Structure 1
Amino acid sequence: MRGRRQSCHYGSAVPEDQLADDIRFRRGRLSLPEHVRSPWWELTRRLLMALGILVGTVLIVYLDRKGYRDSNGDGISLVDAIYYTTVTLSTTGYGDIAPASDFARLVNALVVTPARIGFLVLLIGTTLEVLATRGREQIRTARWRKNMSHHVVIIGYGTKGRSAVETLLNNGKDREHIVVVDPSAAALQDAHSDGLAVVTGDATRREVLRRAGVAEADHVIITTNRDDTNVLTALTVRQLNPDSWIVAAVREEENVALMKQSGANSVITSADAVGRLLGLSSLSPTLGTVMEDLLTYGEGLEVAERELLVTEVGKQPQQLPDQVIAVVRDERVFRYFDPVVTQLARGDRLVVVRPAKELPWAPRPGTHDEDFASED
Structure 2
Amino acid sequence: MRKRLLKLWAVMSTKYVTNGILLIIALLIYGIVGSYFIMGLNLVDSIYYAVTTMATVGYGDYFPETGIQKIFATTLALAGVALLAYVFNIILTNFQQKMGEYSKGARKMRTIKNMDDYYILCGYGRVGKVVLDELKQRNQNVIVIDKDEKVCESIEESENVVVMNKDAITNDFIAELANEKCNSVIVSTGNDVTNLFIVLTIRETNPDAWIVTRASGFENISKLRKAGADKIVSPEISGGYDLYFESTRPHLLKITVKHTSEELLDEFKIITKHGCTLENIEYHIPGIGTPLTRKIKTRNLDEGIKYQKYLETHDTEREALENLYKITNNTHSHLISGPDKSTFDKLIKDLEEMEEIIGINLSNQEIAKLTNKDFQN
TM-score by length of 2: 0.50
* Correspondences of 1:88-107 after superposition (within 5 Å): 88-106=53-71
SS in 1 for 2:14: helix
Structure 2 Cα separation of the partners of residues 202 and 269 of structure 1: 21
* AA matched with 1:278: L
User: Any conservation in 2 of the 1:220–1:244 contact (CA below 8 Å)?
Assistant: yes
Cα gap change, 1:138 to 1:316, in 2 (>3 Å): same
Match 2:151 to one of 190, 203, 209: 190
Which whole-Å CA distance do the structure 2 matches of 1:49 and 1:163 have between them?
49
Relative to structure 1, the CA distance from residue 159 to residue 56 in structure 2 (aligned partners, 3 Å threshold; closer, same or farther) is farther
- Asked if 1 retains the 8 angstrom alpha-carbon contact of 2:186 and 2:211, the reply is yes
1:252 aligns to 2:223 (yes or no): no
- Tell me the equivalent position of 2:327: 340
Write the distance in 2 (CA, Å) between the matches of 1:107 and 1:56: 10
Instruction: Kindly state the Cα deviation for residue 273 of structure 1 after the two structures are TM-superposed.
Output: 0.7
User: Could you tell me which residue of structure 1 aligns to residue 308 of structure 2?
Assistant: none
Unaligned runs of 5+ in 2: 1-7, 157-162, 253-284, 294-320, 330-363, 365-377
Q: CA deviation at 1:94?
A: 3.2
Aligned mates of 1:271, 1:220 — CA distance in 2: 21
Mapped pair 1:83 → 2:70: no
* Aligned match of 2:15: 41
SS of 1:95's equivalent in the other structure is: coil
- In the TM superposition, residue 274 of structure 1 has moved relative to its aligned partner by 1.4
**Matching of residue 152 in structure 1 with residue 119 in structure 2:** yes
Distance in 1 (alpha carbons) for counterparts of 2:288 and 2:236: 33
Number of aligned residue pairs: give it: 250
Do the aligned residues in 1 keep the contact of 2:64 with 2:70 (CA within 8 Å)?
yes
Q: CA deviation at 1:225?
A: 5.0
Return the alpha-carbon distance in structure 1 between the equivalents of residues 153 and 143 of structure 2: 12
Aligned partners of 2:24 and 2:83 also within 8 Å: yes
Q: Partners in 2 of 1:252 and 1:141 — Cα distance?
A: 37
| 1-structure distance, mates of 2:17, 2:118 | 35
Task: Indicate whether 1:118 and 2:82 are aligned.
Answer: yes
- Equivalents in 1 of 2:327, 2:244: separation in Å? 32
Give the letter aligned to residue 191 of structure 1.
C
1:115-141 CA distance string (max 9 Å, x none):
232233134334434543444333333
SS across alignment from 1:248 = strand
* TM-score of the superposed pair, with normalisation by structure 1: 0.50
* Structure 1 gaps, min length 5: 1-30, 32-36, 69-74, 288-313, 319-323, 328-333, 343-352, 354-376
CA 1:122–1:193 in structure 2 vs 1: closer, same or farther (change >3 Å)? same
The reply on whether 1:51 has 2:12 as its aligned counterpart is no
The answer as to whether partners of 1:259 and 1:267 remain within 8 angstroms in 2 is yes
Query: Does the CA-based 8 Å contact 2:118-2:183 persist in structure 1?
Result: yes
Asked whether the equivalents of residues 57 and 85 of structure 1 are also in contact (C-alpha less than 8 Å), the reply is yes
Find out whether 1:138 has 2:102 as its counterpart: yes
In structure 2, distance between residues paired with 1:228 and 1:200: 14
2: distance between equivalents of 1:141 and 1:262?
30
SS in 2 for 1:178: strand
- Number of the residue aligned with 2:187: 222
Letter in 2 for 1:143: R
Aligned partners of 1:169, 1:118: CA distance in 2, in Å?
A: 51
In 1, Cα distance between the equivalents of 2:97 and 2:220? 49
Q: In structure 2, do the counterparts of structure 1 residues 284 and 98 end up closer, same or farther at CA, with 3 Å as the change threshold?
A: farther
Quote the RMSD (CA, aligned, Å).
4.6
Q: Kindly indicate whether structure 1 or structure 2 has the higher relative contact order, using CA contacts under 8 Å at least 6 residues apart.
A: 1
Out of 116, 125, 128, which is 1:161 matched to? 128
Do 1:231 and 1:259's aligned partners in 2 also have CA atoms closer than 8 Å?
Answer: no
User: In structure 2, do the counterparts of structure 1 residues 237 and 339 end up closer, same or farther at CA, with 3 Å as the change threshold?
Assistant: farther
Q: 1:230 to 1:201 in 2, by over 3 A?
A: closer
How many angstroms apart in 1 are the aligned matches of 2:183 and 2:87? Answer: 46
1:317 aligns with 2:304: no
Question: Conserved in 2, the CA contact under 8 Å of 1:50 and 1:122?
Answer: no
Distance 1:191 1:259 in 2: 29
CA-CA distance at 1:272 after TM superposition: 0.9
Letter of the structure 2 residue corresponding to residue 45 of structure 1: N
Q: CA deviation at 1:218?
A: 3.3
Partners of 1:161 and 1:53 in 2: CA distance: 51
Q: 1:262 to 1:200 in 2, by over 3 A?
A: closer
